[in-house]
Amino acid sequence: MKHFSLLLAVLVTTMFASAQSPKLKITHLTGNIYVYTTYNLYQNTPVPSNSAYLVTDNGVVLFDTPWDTTQFQPLLDSIEAKHHQPVVRSISTHFHEDRTGGIDFLKSKGISTWSSQQTLVLCKEKGEPQAAHQFAGDTTFRIGSQQINIFYPGPGHAPDNIVIWLPKDKVLYGGCFVKSTEATSLGNLSDANVDVWPSSIHKVMKKFPTPAYIIPGHDGWADKRSLQHTLQLLKRYNASKKAVH
């Protein structure tokens, strides 16, 4: 009886923890653009990872893949149920796992996976999943009536980070290149170039001066001043480095 009570307590605790764990969240942004958020552990803390998708006349385009590997199929199922459209393409914005982790799964479903050539090289070097198709430099995709502009601003969070501009709705999908105004630090800097990052941010601000929305790779996006906030975080970080030296 004691063993049964212990087993029951463990089971209830596990079920409660599972119920508390965030999974997949899909939020309508504007027009045919949706932000989907999954969660994973970073330094033993659940961290939200924002990705997005665009619904077109010819299917749905994913910007990055879920970070939580258990959410690959639920994402496709949710999109199919919500929009009655299949996912036809994905575009990964840099080589890290929270952007590329679902590539092999998407390929197994016959979905066309894309990244920059620079991202492909880094994925090969780091052992991350590799997209089947690549683009070189700034690129424009036209899918149905929608246009998707790819812009490489230079190194920042990663050597290969790109941003995606959706001109119809003036949405800038920044990925991990852009820090949310909720962020108090620059986060993972293992592959970052903090010296060049500010210059890269200024290029994006010049290229897309009046975005209606900016989607960062993590945390909230309600405040449009995320590019300026990223610059402030970089300024503070670089100043602290100089003070140490």
Between these two residues, 43 and 58, which has the higher pLDDT value?
58
What pLDDT is stored for residue 136 in this prediction? 94
Q: Is the pLDDT of residue 39 over 80?
A: yes
Residue 159 belongs to a domain: yes
Residue 8 belongs to a domain: no
Number of domains observed in the structure of the chain: 1
Residue 6 belongs to a domain: no
Beta bridge partners of 175: 216
Residue 54 belongs to a domain: yes
What pLDDT is stored for residue 22 in this prediction? 67
Q: How far apart are CA 197 and CA 207, in angstroms?
A: 15
Mean residue pLDDT across the chain: 91
- pTM assigned to the model: 0.90
What pLDDT is stored for residue 194 in this prediction? 98
Range 144-160 average pLDDT:
97
What pLDDT is stored for residue 44 in this prediction? 84
pLDDT tens string 67-102? 999 999 999 999 999 999 999 999 999 999 999 999
Catalytic machinery residues:
94, 96, 98, 157, 176, 179, 188, 218
Range 133-162 average pLDDT:
97
pLDDT band at 244 (very low <50, low <70, confident <90, very high): low
Range 52-58 average pLDDT:
97
Residue 15 belongs to a domain: no
Count of positions (residues) in the chain:
245
Check: CB of residue 34 under 8 Å from CB of residue 53.
yes
Q: Is the pLDDT of residue 198 over 50?
A: yes
Q: Is the pLDDT of residue 8 over 90?
A: no
Domain carrying residue 38: 22-244
**CATH, residue 38:** 3.60.15.10
Residue 154 belongs to a domain: yes
Residue 150 belongs to a domain: yes
Residue 13 belongs to a domain: no
Check: CB of residue 217 under 8 Å from CB of residue 156.
no
pLDDT tens string 200-232? 999 999 999 999 999 999 999 999 999 999 999
Range 107-117 average pLDDT:
98
